[in-house]
Amino acid sequence: MRDAYLIGAGQSDYGSFPGESYRSLFRTAFENACDSVPDGIETEDVDEAVVGTLGVGGRQLGLPGPAVTEHVGLHGIPVTRVENACAASGYSVRQGVQAIRSGMADVVLASGVEIMTDVSGDAVRYWLGVSGETEWERLSGTTFAGVYAQMASRHMQEYGTTREQLSHVAVKNHENGAKNPHAQLGFECSLEDAMDAPTVADPLNLYHCCPTTDGAAAVLLASEDVVENYTDDPIRVAGVGAGSDRVGLFQRDTYTAVPASQYAADRAYEMAGYGPDDLDFAEVHDCFAIAELMAYSDLGLCDPEEAGEFVASGKTKRDGEMPVNTSGGLKSKGHPIGATGAGQVVEAFKQLSGQAGERQLEDPQVGLTHNVGGSGGAAVVHVFERGMGGDAA
């Protein structure tokens, strides 16, 4: 099958934008993605689009795909809306890769968009609630923070993980986000700030939780047959993996891992022929601090009992042995549900093409993105490598 290549990626600012619509944010992301293609691209070159969105607030619950692609002049092409909760646009990218490998498209826009801050906190809780397990978790009053708090409690009991270690996730990700001009919470925080914040769902406090966010992200993929029209510095989609699980945490066998992430990572590594040791960086789904620690072990970066120390020791800082969430992650960069997965790929593109500005890593060759839907009902992992393939590891 034909390989797919990442030729461009861009995002809107992440934040709260009362003056923007989902269409205007999408347009910004699309234009930034087009501008990032080294040798340029025309709108007419795009022959398929995938749009990830949950539709928080209900403004265009059906057909949001063409509603945004028409707005940027992508007329008549196949457009599909994909939704897997917070992993919506990670799955958009996966579907874009399948479209190219299938031979049915040569250039695909894989994207996501969400507006969350123009509805009340109660409405946000409703919309996130119906992306978790609706019948038992939401109707019993459990929030996403509550679900992840259960995971954190169990992780503490089982592995001795501490609040201080959880707080190091926030410190690291804010340090990175402070260097990302698109970040919603682009400021640094001290360990004391992160330790002393108000409790949200014990043991998780405000600094252990990502914000609600407006934003959009767009990724441009091209087939091996046309990639040279767009760039002399291709980035290959080396591996793609996805996995599913029971939607409700209470239905699963473990509270200290996300099995869907493990399935996704195993499949992505197998397809890529790479393992965790080959990675130069990873963007992982840190909707809550505990989620980043579980991602470390689910992706094979360390064992679960080492996860707390893995971050506290600085190994996942930008100058550590395995930089994680150089973008600032969901915690600092922000988490516009449907845009998050594609937004992670934007960071992978920037790092691998040397455009990450103040947070640029030194010549990275292989990077991973990891996007989780709900509390782990779905997960998707991509492995990207510089070059046409086979020589980067």
Of 124-132, 172-180, 196-204, 223-231, the segment contacting a copy of itself by CB under 8 A is: 124-132
Footprint (CB under 8 A) of a copy of itself, residues 221-240: 240
Among 106, 114, 245, 286, binds a copy of itself (CB under 8 A): 245
User: Which pair of structure tokens corresponds to residue 193?
Assistant: 């700030």
- What is the number of other CB atoms lying within 10 angstroms of the CB of residue 251? 12
Indicate whether 102 belongs to the interface with a copy of itself (CB under 8 A): yes
Of residues 173 and 344, the one with the C-beta less far from a copy of itself: 344
Of residues 16 and 244, the one with the C-beta less far from a copy of itself: 244
Indicate whether 139 belongs to the interface with a copy of itself (CB under 8 A): no
Give the integer Cα–Cα distance in Å for 322 and 368. 11
Give the integer Cα–Cα distance in Å for 237 and 230. 16
Q: Which of 197, 136, 113 has the alpha carbon at shortest distance from 163?
A: 197
Give the integer Cα–Cα distance in Å for 281 and 275. 12
Q: Which of 114, 5, 116 has the alpha carbon at shortest distance from 51?
A: 114
Footprint (CB under 8 A) of a copy of itself, residues 23-62: 49, 54-55, 58-62
User: Which pair of structure tokens corresponds to residue 304?
Assistant: 């679960």
Looking at this protein, which amino acid is placed at residue 243? G
Long-range contacts, stretch 97-105, CB < 8 angstroms, 24+ apart: 97/4, 97/221, 97/237, 97/240, 97/382, 99/48, 99/50, 100/2, 100/4, 100/221, 100/222, 100/223, 101/1, 101/2, 101/3, 101/4, 102/1, 103/2, 104/48, 105/47, 105/48, 105/78, 105/223
Please count the residues of this chain forming the interface with a copy of itself, following the rule CB under 8 A: 67
Indicate whether 110 belongs to the interface with a copy of itself (CB under 8 A): no
| Contacting residues for 58 by C-beta, under 8 A, at least 6 apart | none
Indicate whether 104 belongs to the interface with a copy of itself (CB under 8 A): yes
Residue 86 catalytic? yes
Among 259, 273, 300, 387, binds a copy of itself (CB under 8 A): 259
- What is the number of other CB atoms lying within 10 angstroms of the CB of residue 51? 30
Strand, coil or helix: 290: helix
Q: How far is the CB of 87 from a copy of itself (least distance, A)?
A: 9
Q: How far is the CB of 329 from a copy of itself (least distance, A)?
A: 21
Q: How far is the CB of 389 from a copy of itself (least distance, A)?
A: 15
Residues comprising the chain, all counted:
393
Of residues 75 and 158, the one with the C-beta less far from a copy of itself: 75
User: Which pair of structure tokens corresponds to residue 149?
Assistant: 């708090």
Among 244, 254, 360, 365, binds a copy of itself (CB under 8 A): 244
Indicate whether 210 belongs to the interface with a copy of itself (CB under 8 A): no
Strand, coil or helix: 282: strand
Give the integer Cα–Cα distance in Å for 68 and 230. 24
List the catalytic residue out of 155, 335, 370, 382.
335
User: Which pair of structure tokens corresponds to residue 246?
Assistant: 């029971």
Among 146, 323, 364, 374, binds a copy of itself (CB under 8 A): 374
Q: How far is the CB of 65 from a copy of itself (least distance, A)?
A: 6
Q: How far is the CB of 289 from a copy of itself (least distance, A)?
A: 22
List the catalytic residue out of 34, 86, 189, 209.
86
Residue 370 catalytic? no
Of 30-38, 63-71, 152-160, 174-182, the segment contacting a copy of itself by CB under 8 A is: 63-71
Residues that bind a copy of itself (CB under 8 A): 1-2, 49, 54-55, 58-63, 65-67, 69-70, 74-85, 91, 94-95, 97-104, 127-128, 130-135, 240-247, 251, 259-260, 263-264, 267, 271, 373-374, 377-378, 380
Q: Which residues are catalytic?
A: 86, 335
